[in-house]
Amino acid sequence: MATVAEQWVLVEMVQALYEAPAYHLILEGILILWIIRLLFSKTYKLQERSDLTVKEKEELIEEWQPEPLVPPVSKDHPALNYNIVSGPPSHNIVVNGKECINFASFNFLGLLDNPRLKAAALASLKKYGVGTCGPRGFYGTFDVHLDLEDRLAKFMKTEEAIIYSYGFATIASAIPAYSKRGDIVFVDKAACFAIQKGLQASRSDIKLFNHNDMDDLDRLLKEQEIEDQKNPRKARVTRRFIVVEGLYMNTGTICPLPELVKLKYKYKARIFLEESLSFGVLGEHGRGVTEHFGIDIDDIDLISANMENSLASIGGFCCGRSFVIDHQRLSGQGYCFSASLPPLLAAAAIEALNIMEENPDIFAVLKEKCKRIHNALQGISGLKVVGESISPAFHLQLEESTGCRERDVKLLQEIVTQCMDRGIALTQARYLEKEEKYLPPPSIRVVVTVEQTEEELEKAATTISKVAQTVLL
């Protein structure tokens, strides 16, 4: 064929044209003209043009009805009417006009009405006023903030600490500062809402493991390792994090930190530890769950806690190595784009730290009281205690649910109201039912503080027992 092609010369082509029969030429000509026409004609649309006319658009705009901005809330929604506390929410609290002993505020170390704290805050108020009028970057950094960060870092024996002006925003800003889209986070199913929001803001891949179940976590990490081997290039840039709480708010249990640290080094994932409830509670000196288990604090990449529980102030902090913490000074949204903590609250937190350092025996006292009431509340008919014996915030859940969450909530509310009538202030644990990933069952939260005397603990136990019997029969 190649040789034939070489022999093709233009003259011979023209000759072939002359020698071809007429019908052949005409047919070829018509076909060529048809092809040219098809090439240049407009495309054939099967449907009519879908552009709307101006009139049709206006009609659509007229017709469109949005949903109401908010759905109506029924008058007897359980969360609509708040309990009103008259006066300070301290050990003896006046709720809805009734005087009660406070078993509901997270005032673990009883520092809410401590005179030293008040004096320190007052001194700060007299020096700085109330507000800071600026974010940390723009003249909102006071020497008090730097002091507090320094003290927290020294107390927790880490290199650096950073404070936020709101407890919720602390972990919710810290997680998205490190974990971005494409990174993987392994988080416990019972994680609190602030962690969930932080994870949502980070847009990372979330993998949930069963509560405190290290085998489940191991399985997930192993699966991830197998995935990584399939795609090593991607694995080299995907960061891995494990987010756990020291003492879980929703269940009152402590995380198994030693196993977690082992898993960390085995699978090369970083640990973020949320210690809002365990800071100032666990450990010999109140340093939290790392001290409780005797783990080197440098093994934990980030510890985040809020100052609203044990320190009886407002705000939160993160502490850890400078390599990790310093990043939040530019990337933590709640730090950069929000006004700094009012100095009087920072001064109160510093004083609370002083008190904690001067009286290391209060932690042992608190543990004792927790154990006592935990034992006293065992065996109440109809209610079961959920939480560790040394946890100062634990839950009382219905032993047998009625089957409907609303009815459970009503029953528990009845118990709470009757306890308040008898002078024990309790509260139900509140959740956003539609927003939580793993909604915990309804429960009453009982909080133990160092200020509660033995008689008061006894009284609480007997009151709850009696009321439960009456209500639940």
Partner 1 sequence: MRTEPGGCCCRRPVRAKDCVANGEVRNGYVRISAATAAAAAGQIHHVTQNGALYKRPFNEGFEETPMLVAVLTYVGYGVLTLFGYLRDFLRHWRIEKCHHATEREEQKDFVSLYQDFENFYTRNLYMRIRDNWNRPICSVPGARVDIMERQSHDYNWSFKYTGNVIKDVINMGSYNYLGFARNTGPCQEAAAKVLEEYGVGVCSTRQEIGNLDKHEELEKLVASFLGVEAAMTYGMGFATNSMNIPALVSKGCLILSDELNHASLVLGARLSGATIRVFKHNNMQSLEKLLKDAIVYGQPRTRRPWKKILILVEGIYSMEGSIVRLPEVIALKKKYKAYLYLDEAHSIGALGPTGRGVVDYFGLDPEDVDIMMGTFTKSFGASGGYIGGKKELIDYLRTHSHSAVYATSLSPPVVEQIITSMKCIMGQDGTTLGPSLLWPLPLQSTGSGHAGPAAMAHGPSRSMACGILPDRGTNPCPLHRQADSQPLCHQRSPSGSFLNCIILCEDVIHCVAMFCSHSI
Residues 6+ away with beta carbon under 8 Å from 460: 101, 103, 373, 424, 446, 452
Kindly state the DSSP code that residue 298 receives in the 8-state scheme.
G
Q: Determine which residue in the list 98, 140, 389, 465 makes contact with partner 1, applying CB under 8 A.
A: 140
Amino acid letter, 12: E
End-to-end CA, the chain: 102
Q: Which tokens in the block code for residue 374?
A: 């935990």
Q: Are 345 and 191 in contact (CB under 8 A)?
A: no
Round to whole Å and give the CA distance between 105 and 445: 10
CB atoms within 10 A of CB 293: 18
Please give the Cα distance from 150 to 172 (Å, whole number): 22
User: With left for phi above 0 and alpha for psi between -120 and 50, is residue 312 left, alpha or beta?
Assistant: left
Q: How far is the CB of 62 from partner 1 (least distance, A)?
A: 9
For partner 1, which residue of 430, 439, 453, 454 counts as binding (CB under 8 A)? 430
Within residues 253-292, the interface with partner 1 by CB under 8 A covers: 265, 268-270
Decide: is 64 part of the binding site for partner 1 (CB under 8 A): yes
Q: How far is it, in rounded angstroms, from Cα 90 to Cα 10?
A: 107
Using rule CB under 8 A, residue 376 touches partner 1: no
Distance CA 173, CA 178 (A): 9
CB of 370 to partner 1, least distance (A): 17
Six-digit token string for 96:
């809805």
For the segment 108-127, give every residue that binds partner 1 (CB under 8 A).
111-114, 117-118, 121-122, 125-127
**Residue 308: CB minimum distance to partner 1, A:** 5
> Given candidates 40, 45, 71, 230, which one binds partner 1 under the rule CB under 8 A?
71
The DSSP letter of residue 300 is S
Candidates 101, 153, 158, 178; binder of partner 1 (CB under 8 A) is: 178
* Using rule CB under 8 A, residue 413 touches partner 1: no
Q: Is 427 in the site for partner 1 (CB under 8 A)?
A: yes
| Of the candidate residues 28, 31, 57, 285, the single one contacting partner 1 (CB under 8 A) | 57
Cβ neighbours of residue 157 closer than 8 Å, sequence gap 6 or more:
287, 297
* Longest CA pairwise span in the chain (Å): 123
Position among 30, 60, 364, 365 found at the interface with partner 1 (CB under 8 A): 60
Nearer to partner 1, 27 or 133 (CB): 133
Strand pairing class (240-245; 184-188):
parallel
Scan for tokens 């109201």, then name that residue.
417
Per-residue contact flags (x/-) with partner 1 for residues 220 to 249, judged by CB under 8 A: ---------------xxxxxx---------
Q: How far apart are CA 221 and CA 270, in angstroms?
A: 12
List, in sequence order, the alpha helices (H) in 252-305.
257-267, 289-293
Considering only residues 296 to 315 of the shown chain, the ones binding partner 1 according to CB under 8 A are 298, 301, 306, 308-309, 311-314
Query: Residue 134 interacts with partner 1 (CB under 8 A)?
Result: yes
Closer residue to partner 1 in complex, CB, 258/379: 258
- 322 in contact with partner 1 (CB under 8 A): yes
**Per CB under 8 A, which of residues 331..350 are in contact with partner 1?**
333-334, 336-339, 341-342, 344-345, 348
- Residue of 165, 204, 253, 452 interacting with partner 1 (CB under 8 A): 165
Contact between 369 and partner 1 by CB under 8 A: the answer reads no
Closest approach, Cβ 35 to partner 1, in A, equals 38
Per rule CB under 8 A, is residue 425 in the interface with partner 1?
yes
Binding test (CB under 8 A) with partner 1, winner from 91, 101, 142, 467: 142
Q: At closest approach, how far in Å is the CB of 275 from partner 1?
A: 16
